Chain A
Amino acid sequence: MSSAGHAPSLQGLSKHYGSFRAVDDVSLSVERGQFLTLLGPSGSGKTTILMCVAGFVAPTSGAILLDGRDITALPPERRDFGMVFQGYALFPHMTVAENVAFPLRVRKLPTAERDAKVRAALDLVQLERFADRRPSQLSGGQQQRVALARALVFDPALLLLDEPLSALDKKLRAELQEELRALHRRVGRTFINVTHDQEEALSMSDRVAILNHGKLVQEGAPAALYERPRTRFVADFLGKSNFLTGTVREAHPGGFAIAVGATRVVQALDPAAPRPALGTPALLSLRPEKIALLAEGEAADNVVEGRILSWAYLGAGFALSVATPDLGVLRVTLPAWGAPIAPVERLPVRLGWSAAASVPVEEDAA
């Protein structure tokens, strides 16, 4: 297989159904060989975008380009994109090998070449032994790998994945996430994946595009999105977050402070970033794992006192809900191994976090 991936891009893509905007002016370009995930809740337009790229849905306006060439009007069978459908869509009347051979058969490849490619593709997903079985005789994970082999066997310009792991149980999903990632590295092709599972998006992708109500909210590398969400929606959808709403009281290079009720919360700021004006409202996102339990007398940039409202043991850690006088209920997670306290309801605790732990985010546009 050649390793030259192709670079698709969307330009002002929109799809309207009557007055409903399933996709609303989305522009996005994917680099060669990149693993891009479209992430969003159901109804966010992520699948519609994928179907537009695949050619099954005609966009209302905007264009789809591949390496700079406009392919918006091309029917799906002439786009040469591999696609793994939700539920895999394997042909039930064909064996695994026949399924994988299908795209080669319609391209009228000579038999010898076809057989060699089918074998190589089944080899790639470690299913050589199952070549003569029917899809119904395979497990969900195996079916998923057949779908992958079928989508990759004809050296497609792009691989499109529509919630490829959603039908699998949790453990298998984690396994296949790794496999898919490894497969992407091996074949070096451009992958576009659609999912509503933020963990899947974070663990597999080179780049994630977050969608909500048909709009592209933010895109970037998984770590950048997690650490520097731009809006409340992104912070909330990608992982968990506490939100602190207050009014800016002090501002200086490198940071500012807000008042949340009677509590002063300090926030670090990139010196290059614009400073917020005094008296304006501010919203901070604070990840639960970045809050520490402080011992008596221990200091931190921000310290609040509270009582444990409820707690849950998660194996690897504890999830606490801590009621504080000014900041409301804060969610805190801490590793169970070596936890400084044994959680008990109504236990008084001191919480602390550094000024760089939280990030200022924007309220979502209504």
Chain B
Amino acid sequence: MAMAAQRQGGWWLLILPAFLLMTAFYVTPILQVLAISFTEPQPGLQNYERLFTSESVQRVIVTTLRICTITTVLALLLGYVLSYKIALADERARRWWILAVLVPLWISVLVRAFAWVTLLRRQGLVNETLMGAGLIQEPLALVWNEFGIIVGMVHYMVPYAVLPMLASMREIDPRLLAAARGLGAPRGTVFFRVFLPLSLPGLIAAGVLVFIFSLGFYITPAILGGGKTLMVAEWIGLQILDLIRWGLGTMMATMLVVTILVTLAIFSRVVNLRRVFGSGA
């Protein structure tokens, strides 16, 4: 027992430098942000009072939650179909599919956002094509609104949705699917009674991951929203950098952190979070 305790102590020493580094450069600034939200412009809870009184604060929160929810649902749908296809593909095809999913991850989020702008703007490829084909008379408003933000965010999030779901689907023994068919289940029943329930942990994990990621999105909404549709991160930037209202900005930042922690806490009871962040079970 003593030996084991000693060995445990030894392990902790090994991560001490990393722990100190994290405390100094990560935890401390966050605590400072938390502190500012209670002290600027004068000590008290008046920044948090705005959550209940200010319509503009509430609008930003509602917009953010709505965009994040829609993004999560769409990214999960697209990601699920992709993962299903990849999980059931043969080994060679699977490698190519995974590469195709991962390549967008290596391209800067800035480049991707501007690429969407060129595609979706009034004289962009999509509008020009539709007008050329005579399907529409007036260009559609595809960008600098919520629609544009959601397109960009879904595009960014699909790989993050695919990876946990694919991991969970690949753990499903293909013999279970064969067994279900052999026992008389048509393909649809095999999917809904066997495949879907078994892939559910991955689906939930991907949902949590995508939702949390979306909450703090900055560049994509800033470019594709064109400043008209504000999400939380951009609003915080606006408060702190342009309006120099540190108190309000840090209040919202704190709310963001709290929301993320609460979401994680709820889902850690439902699924194994280690799976979400890629650690082996």
Report A's interface with B, CB cutoff 8 A. Answer: 54-56, 75-78, 80-83, 85-87, 89, 91-93, 102-103, 105-107, 150-151, 154, 160
A106 touches B182 (CB 8 A): no
When chains A and B are docked, how far (Å) is the Cα of A56 from the Cα of B181?
Answer: 9
In the complex, which residue of chain A has the Cβ closest to the Cβ of B190?
A77
Q: CB-nearest residue of chain A relative to B173?
A: A89
User: CB-nearest residue of chain A relative to B200?
Assistant: A93
16 further A-B pairs in the complex, CB-CB below 8 A; given A77-B182, A77-B185, A103-B183: A55-B182, A56-B178, A75-B181, A83-B182, A83-B183, A89-B175, A91-B194, A91-B198, A92-B176, A92-B198, A93-B198, A102-B193, A103-B185, A105-B193, A106-B183, A151-B183
Given A85-B179, A89-B178, verify A154-B173 contact (CB < 8 Å): no
Contact of B175 among A87, A93, A103, A151 (CB under 8 A): A87
Contact, CB under 8 Å: A93 / B184? no
Q: B184 touching A83 by the CB < 8 A rule? A: no
Count of residues in B whose CB is under 8 Å from the partner chain: 18
Which residues of B lie under 8 Å from residue A54 when comparing CB positions? 182
Can you list 24 contacts pairing A with B, beta carbon distance less than 8 Å?
A55-B182, A56-B178, A56-B181, A76-B181, A77-B186, A83-B179, A83-B183, A85-B182, A86-B175, A89-B173, A89-B175, A89-B178, A91-B180, A91-B198, A102-B183, A103-B183, A103-B184, A103-B185, A105-B193, A106-B183, A106-B189, A107-B184, A151-B183, A154-B183
The smallest beta-carbon distance between A102 and chain B, in angstroms, is 6
A102's contact among B173, B180, B197, B198, by CB below 8 Å, is which? B180
- A-B pairs with the 5 shortest C-beta distances? A89-B179, A103-B183, A89-B175, A106-B185, A83-B182
For the residues of A in contact with B, the DSSP-based class is mixed
Q: Is A56 in contact with B194, judged by CB distance below 8 angstroms?
A: no
Q: Which label, helix, strand, loop or mixed, suits the secondary structure of the B interface?
A: helix
Q: Which of A77, A105, A107 has the most CB of B within 10 A?
A: A77
| Residues in A neighbouring B183, C-beta threshold 8 A | 77, 82-83, 102-103, 106, 150-151, 154
Task: Report which residue of B182, B193, B197 has the largest number of chain A beta carbons within 10 angstroms of its beta carbon.
Answer: B182
Query: Which residues in B have some Cβ–Cβ distance to A below 8 Å?
Result: 173, 175-176, 178-187, 189, 193-194, 197-198
Measured in the bound complex, the distance between the Cα atoms of B197 and A318 in whole Å is 55
Is B189 in contact with A91, judged by CB distance below 8 angstroms? Answer: no
Roughly how many angstroms separate A150 CA and B185 CA in the complex, as a whole number? 13
B75 to chain A, nearest CB (A): 25
Task: Give CA–CA (A269, B116) in the complex, Å.
Answer: 88
The answer to whether residues A89 and B176 also contact, given A76-B181, A77-B181, A102-B193 and a CB cut-off of 8 A, is yes
Contacts of A92 in B (CB 8 A): 176, 198
